[in-house]
Homo-oligomer: A and B are copies of this chain.
């Protein structure tokens, strides 16, 4: 971990670092590590979708005309493939539109407007709704809470998932706490993988709120970067075993499998929750885009087809992540000014710099033409109390640019540390 002495020690090198930074600025870079976007090379892997489902292919394997209205639950042919991959019964899995973000938002919007079956009242009518966020975490999760007026309570993210003991203590007596976000596999940004022990704790802990929900955002379930292809616990099954069948709502998507903006999404939960969700969905939609769902089913063919496809992503992505870690190690390893993750999957490297300097690092990088995710983005309301965490997203630029950008980021981290040390 960071200690100020080493930032102080760096203070002596301030003039050299300022010179290095001036040289960095002189390069006139224009690089972007802000968001977890797939690169064009990754998107190309799915270009077969651009001419699918194919000339006069209008029906799925059950004979349904995919062009017309209907089929609220999504195309069975596609749901079967992802039911296997996500380890849920197909009848508990819905296939939706192009974003699991929309499914998460709508789940909580329906809770606000109508409540879950077990809710004493619609959440929008509660005096206060609180929601647990493990930090660092995903900014779009926080944005949904903020928009819906949920007060966010933070708990630490650990290597094994959210701090289950801290959560259990919070929810035991406080009925205003209605839920928690969990990114079970390769969490955003820490790359943590939840253990079965943590999962069991979360699905079985007593909660004061009768309608407590875990939004199990399985965004990176299949997004391995190493041979250690982790599997995450089947939270929906574990919750049912624990006598809390309705506690878990899982979402996933192909946004980082096929096309980021034109994929398909998935929503899974208990049969009672599926009935609840589809009841409200039926008011808002005429059914998902089944042509796009068929396009995906034909493209993949099977669950193994998806797994095989993900290995092609890994071939493109893994070198970029290795480069990030390698450069951080080479440039910063000898100082005690930063720590970082070496993720086994997902889309992010989480970088902790000298406390108080994250926003300065991001500013320095910006002024040198390297766009980083805003400091604080991994905390509710964009406020990192220690101003320390930076989320690095190396997927989008080509490998040479990732290297160039990371070398620049390292310079900025050192300069900010030296500035802090000499202040």
A66 within 8 A of B: yes
Q: Give min CB distance, A78 to chain B, whole Å.
A: 14
- DSSP majority for the A interface? loop
Tell whether A262 pairs with B290 under 8 Å between CB atoms, given A43-B58, A51-B54: yes
Cβ contact within 8 Å between A288 and B57: no
How many residues on chain A are close to B (CB under 8 Å)?
A: 59
Chain B residues with Cβ below 8 Å from A114 are: 147
Cβ contact within 8 Å between B289 and A261: yes
Q: Give min CB distance, A149 to chain B, whole Å.
A: 9
A156 within 8 A of B: no
Chain B residues with Cβ below 8 Å from A38 are: 68
Cβ contact within 8 Å between A43 and B65: yes
Cβ contact within 8 Å between A286 and B51: no
Task: Please pick, from B50, B53, B105, B255, the residue contacting A58 in the complex, using a CB distance under 8 A.
Answer: B50
Cβ contact within 8 Å between A285 and B54: no
Cβ proximity bits A37-58 to B, threshold 8 Å, 1 near / 0 not: 1101001001101111111111
Q: In the complex, A306 Cα to B260 Cα: how many Å? A: 28
Task: Please pick, from B99, B124, B285, the residue contacting A102 in the complex, using a CB distance under 8 A.
Answer: B285
Closest to A39 in B: B68
Listed residue (A47, A67, A102, A288) with the most chain B CB atoms within 10 angstroms of its CB: A67
Tell whether A262 pairs with B54 under 8 Å between CB atoms, given A113-B148, A255-B286, A285-B99: no
- Identical chains in the assembly: 2
Closest to A35 in B: B69
A284 within 8 A of B: yes
Q: In A107-163, which residues have CB < 8 Å from any B CB?
A: 109, 112-114, 122, 124-125, 140, 143-144, 147-148
Chain B residues with Cβ below 8 Å from A35 are: 69
A283 within 8 A of B: yes
Chain B residues with Cβ below 8 Å from A374 are: none
Cβ contact within 8 Å between A109 and B113: yes
Task: Please pick, from B43, B46, B50, B292, the residue contacting A54 in the complex, using a CB distance under 8 A.
Answer: B50
A97 within 8 A of B: yes
Task: Please pick, from B69, B261, B284, the residue contacting A290 in the complex, using a CB distance under 8 A.
Answer: B261
Closest to A69 in B: B260
Q: In the complex, A99 Cα to B97 Cα: how many Å? A: 11
Q: Give min CB distance, A5 to chain B, whole Å.
A: 42
A353 within 8 A of B: no
Q: Give min CB distance, A279 to chain B, whole Å.
A: 9
Cβ proximity bits A52-90 to B, threshold 8 Å, 1 near / 0 not: 111111100000011111110000000000000000000
Chain B residues with Cβ below 8 Å from A292 are: 262, 289, 292
Q: In the complex, A109 Cα to B102 Cα: how many Å? A: 14
Task: Please pick, from B55, B147, B289, B290, the residue contacting A97 in the complex, using a CB distance under 8 A.
Answer: B289
Chain B residues with Cβ below 8 Å from A47 are: 55-56, 58
Q: Give min CB distance, A264 to chain B, whole Å.
A: 10
A362 within 8 A of B: no
Chain B residues with Cβ below 8 Å from A280 are: 147
Q: In the complex, A173 Cα to B255 Cα: how many Å? A: 49
Chain B residues with Cβ below 8 Å from A289 are: 97-98, 261-262, 289, 292
Tell whether A262 pairs with B113 under 8 Å between CB atoms, given A55-B50, A124-B125: no
Closest to A148 in B: B113
Tell whether A291 pairs with B50 under 8 Å between CB atoms, given A262-B66, A283-B147: yes
Closest to A48 in B: B55
Task: Please pick, from B50, B54, B261, the residue contacting A57 in the complex, using a CB distance under 8 A.
Answer: B50
A329 within 8 A of B: no
- Residues on A facing B (Cβ under 8 Å): 35, 37-38, 40, 43, 46-47, 49-58, 65-71, 97-99, 101-102, 105-106, 109, 112-114, 122, 124-125, 140, 143-144, 147-148, 255, 259-262, 280, 283-292
CB pairs A–B below 8 angstroms (6 shown)? A67-B259, A67-B262, A99-B285, A101-B286, A113-B124, A262-B290
